[in-house]
Amino acid sequence: MPDITRIDARGPRFAASVTAALLLVATLLSLVGISTGRDDATGAWVLATASFTDRLADPGFLLVLVIALLFVWGVASPRTAPWGVLYRRVVQPRLSAPTDFEDPRPPRFAQGVGLFVTAVGLVLHLAGVPWALPIAAAMAFVAAFLNAVFGLCLGCQLYLVLQRAGVIGRRGPAAA
């Protein structure tokens, strides 16, 4: 039975790497999609005049939606989330034994923060707010990039601040 009170710290960084790559593509797709376009004739935002179906079919929206669903998966069941499974089954066996472990609660909270940021972008996009989707995707990308490249998990830091403030309980480590 694996120890679920602590996790290999390299796992969340691997997941952040994959997520950052997806978010970079999503940001670029949303920048060239209807979120930022203007009608040449009227100067109106394309998104504001687009139908709900057109907003749903926007490639940037669809990719951010998939990423948001992956965040949901990471919050609801981190042990079965795709990037965690890929890391444990394919990447981790090829690495040396882990020497750095961490509590799984901060990375799980960080997944929730990523979900919140992308969900806000998705909702605002559907509501017809120009630039909301690329800004939300870019914000999530920056956070994932910082974690992947520098090991700085902004969501984890937010978790620790909230824990110190007493907003989040100080119980023992939770199951991953």
Dist. CA 38–CA 128, nearest whole Å: 13
Alpha carbon 79 to chain centroid distance? 16
What are the residue ranges spanned by the domains of the chain? 8-38+45-164
Give the per-residue pLDDT at 117: 98
Dist. CA 118–CA 138, nearest whole Å: 9
Give the per-residue pLDDT at 9: 87
Give the per-residue pLDDT at 1: 44
Q: What is the largest CA-CA distance in the chain?
A: 64
- Tens place of pLDDT for every residue, the chain, 176 residues? 455 688 888 999 999 999 999 999 999 999 999 999 999 899 899 999 999 999 999 999 999 999 999 999 999 998 899 999 999 999 999 999 988 889 999 999 999 999 999 999 999 999 999 999 999 999 999 999 999 999 999 999 999 999 999 998 766 555 55
Sign of CA dihedral 105, 108, 112, 117: positive
The CA-based angle 58-62-63, given to 5 degrees, is 120
> Contact, 20 vs 95, CB < 8 A?
no
